[in-house]
Structure formats: C-alpha cells, structure tokens
Amino acid sequence: MTSGALLSEAVDAADELLRNVYRLEVAKALNPLDPRDFLAIVQRLSRALTGVSQAAEADALRRALATLDVDWRTLKPAARERVVQAARQAVAQMPAKILPRVEQVLEPEAKRVVTRTRAAVARRFRIGATTARTDDRIAAFARKSTAHFVRDQYGQRAIDASERARHIVADGLAQGLGRDDIAAELSKALTPVIQRGKPYWDVVAMAFANRARTHTQLAAFDEAGIERFRFEAVLDSVTSHVCRFMHGREFSVSRAVQRFDQVERADDPEAIVDLQPWVQTGADEEGNQVLFFKRGGRRSLVAQIDEPALGRPDQVGRYSRAMSNEQLESAGICVPPAHARCRSNIVAEG
C-alpha cells in the first residue's frame, strides 16, 4: 500500500473516531483536483442553484400557461398572436428573477473553488502562493462567464417556447380542438421546456466549477514557469468519447492562458462559445461517427471515431482524420470543460 493510501485511511479513521466516539463533526476541506471531491463540489453547487431557481421557474410556467389557456376557437388570428406573445413575455422574465440569485450562489463558491484549487496545485506541484488579486480575477471571470451562459440558455428557451406554442395552437385549431384540449397540449409540451430542473443546473455547476479550477491551475502553472500541461480524463465506464480522445494530449500553458484572457474580455456569450467551443458527437454525411465543434453555425471535424471505447475503463479508443494538438489549440479546444458534464483535469508537464 502506498504512503498516500495509508494517509487517506488514517484520515478516514480519525474522522470516524471523532464522529462516532466524540460526536464531533469534521468538515472536510474539499480538493478540486481530487475527482471525488470535485464531484461533491459540483453536486453541492447544483443543489444550491436548483433551490434558488425552482420557485421562479414554476411561477413563470404557471403564468405562461394561464395566459395561453383561452378559448382559441373564438379568437381571431391577431388575438392568438398577442396571447402567445404575452406568454413568451412571462417566460422571458425568468432571467431577471433567477440570475441575481444564481450570482449570489456563484460568488462565494467561485472564491472557494479558486482558493482550494490554488492550495491543491501548490501542494501537488510545489508551486508557491501568488497574489490574491489574480485569484479574485479568476473567481470574477468564472462567475461572469457562467452567468452569460445561463442568460443565453434562458433567452433561447423563451424563443423555443414561443415557437412551439404557435405550432401547437395552429395544429389544434386545424384539427378542430377546443380550448381545454389545446391548453392540455400546451401544458404537456411546455413543461419540460420551461422547467429545466436539476439536469440543467448540473451542467451549469459542472462547467462553472471546472472552468474556475482549470483557469486557476493554468495561472499557477504560468506563474511557476511551467510551459506545458497534459489533458487528463477520468477513464471510467461513463467517460465520454470527447474526453477519451483528448486524454494525454499536451498543450502550451501560455497559449491556453492567452485564450482565457480573450474569453475574459468577451462580453457576448456567442463569442465565448466560439473562443472555447465544446466538442460534440454526431455523424458525418457518410454516416461515420465523428467528433465535431460548431463555430458561426458551421461544423468542423475534430476526429472520426473508428473504434469507440465508451463503457470501457482505461480505454481511449481509436480515431482517424483527427486534428493535431496544434490545431486543437488554435481552435480553443485544449482545456476542460471540453463538453457538458466534463470531469477532466489538467496536469503539469516537466
């Protein structure tokens, strides 16, 4: 057994003794570089975000459905349009209600993730502490960039809800359905669109925590004069195609820091998406399974998946037509999160 494993067992035994014998609860300082601790941070953050958003989302949905619940057959086309627009306005008010509460959750959590990451990096790589100003800047960046993505998702969701409502109303009228039937169809279709719930906030929490963790690590590597880092995936049964493909690839610290600086200066959410795009899985025109990213509405090939390893621990699979590390770096694809729910980390290279 390694010294690290022995130390971990000793800590667990001490925690159990204090809790069960002396009835003292020990609050463990979570380490963002540890995969299990990182997931604990994300789960706690996701629960907090879900808690502050549920009431506002439910209220918006109720008001939207109440507005749409009218006698459609007696309404003229112009009146139908006004009803749908009114429902969209009820949904569009969600960001103004939810975002201030979201930022209240993200602000202290950003500082905690950055501080813990800095301490963990210093211990693991023997990197000295740096000014708090850098850490404050990273925390502010993580909070702001995540708020951008939340705002963008809500805006898109309101548009989707409006378009879907129009089609449901038009189809219902064409079929001769009455008010109650159309209202029931609207409720059935809009509920999963408006109430994103915990899965949505899981993605937000994961992206937020991973972005703050990665940026802090890069800043520490840069300050310590480390020139290269390695993308390191958690290769278990649920690891994505994306992270298996990225696992073990090496990139430049300075170029990654420069890209983060560009993202930090970008105020438009779409610009942020273009600067650090997420990689997706899909099929090309020939039906091959591929990894790709989107920029400006156009798909760009990252790699073709020739031998998938999904579901197989410690396997990465086999790929062809793949972008080089330099090309990935130029595209802004070199650091976690590389996709939604990305758990990967980065490791300094000597």
Q: What is the pLDDT of residues 133-148, one digit of tens each?
A: 778 999 999 998 888 8
Q: Looking at the structure, tell me whether residues 61 and 142 fall in a common domain.
A: yes
Q: Looking at the structure, tell me whether residues 36 and 66 fall in a common domain.
A: yes
Nearest 10 degrees: CA dihedral of 81, 84, 90, 91?
A: -130
What residues of the chain score a pLDDT lower than 70? 1-28, 128-132, 158, 192-196
Q: Looking at the structure, tell me whether residues 278 and 178 fall in a common domain.
A: no
Query: For residues 61 and 50, what is the distance between their CA atoms, to the nearest angstrom?
Result: 16
DSSP state, residue 34: S
Q: Looking at the structure, tell me whether residues 7 and 133 fall in a common domain.
A: no
What's the whole-model pTM score? 0.82
Q: Looking at the structure, tell me whether residues 39 and 51 fall in a common domain.
A: yes
Q: Looking at the structure, tell me whether residues 17 and 46 fall in a common domain.
A: no
Q: Looking at the structure, tell me whether residues 46 and 175 fall in a common domain.
A: yes
Q: Structure tokens of 258?
A: 């420069």
Query: For residues 97 and 72, what is the distance between their CA atoms, to the nearest angstrom?
Result: 30
Q: Looking at the structure, tell me whether residues 57 and 181 fall in a common domain.
A: yes
| Parent domain of 309 | 226-350
Number of domains in the chain: 3
DSSP state, residue 280: E
Q: Looking at the structure, tell me whether residues 217 and 337 fall in a common domain.
A: no
pLDDT tens-digit map of 66-101: 888 899 988 988 898 899 888 888 888 888 889 999
Q: Looking at the structure, tell me whether residues 63 and 154 fall in a common domain.
A: yes
Q: Looking at the structure, tell me whether residues 219 and 239 fall in a common domain.
A: no
Query: For residues 21 and 15, what is the distance between their CA atoms, to the nearest angstrom?
Result: 10
